[in-house]
Amino acid sequence: MKVYLFYRKSFPDNYSIEKIFDGVLFSLQNELKVTKRIVPYYSNSIYGRLKNLIWVSKNQARINHVTGDIHYVAIGLRKKNTILTIHDLNFLNRSNPFSLLIYYLLWIKWPVKKAKVITVISEATKQDLLNRVAIPESKIKVIPNYYNPNYTPVPKVFIKQKPRILQIGTKKNKNVIRLISALEGLSCSLIIIGKHEREIEDQLIKRKIDYKWLSNLTDDEIKIQYENCDIVSFISTFEGFGMPILEAQAIGRVVITSNISSMPEVAGNGALFVDPYNIDCIREGISKLIEDDTLRDVLINNGLENIKRFELKRIASMYHRLYQEVYDDLENEI
């Protein structure tokens, strides 16, 4: 069975999807003929999208899997053997009506109709998709992301007097402004990893938060920040998945996260859940994690158990089974 994994042509420092499927490809390469195919053009122009469509139509395998972001190329592939992975639908949050229509048609409606199977990385994304396009629920399969197997437990003494709180990401949905408000007056230091945002920095200064801002870190440098922190905060208002939750659990750090979107299904019972829109609730949750030693230990141990659901071998086998199912259907048609 020959399988093509179609990847987007990535801009620098934008390799999250690639990292996920590189691991799947590596895990399956001894079992299947799996090949990585990167489309030749960026998707930020009509010309690039059209050229990619033509290219994929001429470069197909027995099983074709569009791994994300370039959903529109599914239009150029054969329906009966095409799998499309959708990570989230956050790209539809656009104010320009024309831009929204283009993305809805090219990234959602037409590709979803064309693909034989849709995979999503969480139940939250599945429900979001079903709310936006009329397709049979049976066409959608949930296959979560896996955490990096290089993330392993690193014991650390919790610094109660002034804990280090790690925040991954600075986009609007990461909810950093409310986190900062919740931390005002607490004895802690906030470590932020992500793109610099003036609005966030203004609030840090206004609220007199002890902070350190880090950008453009390597994977190894990010891992070190997990190891050095005491608490990982991930109180987003929306996520397609929530990888920092698993990374924190794998390292053995206590997690505070949101009680909405995909976060509860990813975290399992290995995190403290709070209302991301309620600053008092966030503050109370962080204070509880600082003060309650038993609660921290329970959540950390639960997290270490939870990540077993997201091991690379298990996730790769889920894709393997899916490829086999699509292949068997094709063979039965002959």
Contact (Cβ atoms closer than 8 angstroms) between residue 122 and residue 241: yes
All domains in the chain, ordered by first residue: 2-146+311-333 (3.40.50.2000), 164-310 (3.40.50.2000)
Q: Which residue has the tokens 């600082």?
A: 290
Using the structure block, give the residue that is written with the tokens 């870190």: 217
Q: pLDDT band at residue 96, thresholds of 50, 70 and 90?
A: confident
DSSP, residue by residue, 11-30: PTT--HHHHHHHHHHHHHTT
Tens of pLDDT, residue by residue over 170-189, are: 999 999 999 999 999 999 99
Q: What's the average model confidence in pLDDT over 102-130?
A: 96
CB 148 within 8 A of CB 120: no
Q: How many residues does the chain have?
A: 334
Q: What are phi and psi of 290, to 5 degrees?
A: -70, -40
pLDDT 10s digits, 34-86 = 999 999 999 999 999 999 999 999 999 999 999 999 999 999 999 999 999 99
Looking at the predicted structure, is the pLDDT value of residue 29 above 80? yes
Closest-CA residue to 183 (of 155, 211, 161): 211
pLDDT at 288: 98
State the chain's mean pLDDT as an integer: 96
Residues 185, 190, 195, 196, CA torsion sign: positive
Place of tokens 């998707």: 43
pTM, two decimal places: 0.94
pLDDT in tens, 265-296: 999 999 999 999 999 999 999 999 999 999 99
pLDDT tens sequence across 225-274 = 999 999 999 999 999 999 999 999 999 999 999 999 999 999 999 999 99
Q: What is the DSSP string of 88-100?
A: --GGG--S-HHHH
Burial of 169 (0-12, 13-18, 19+ CB in 10 A): middle
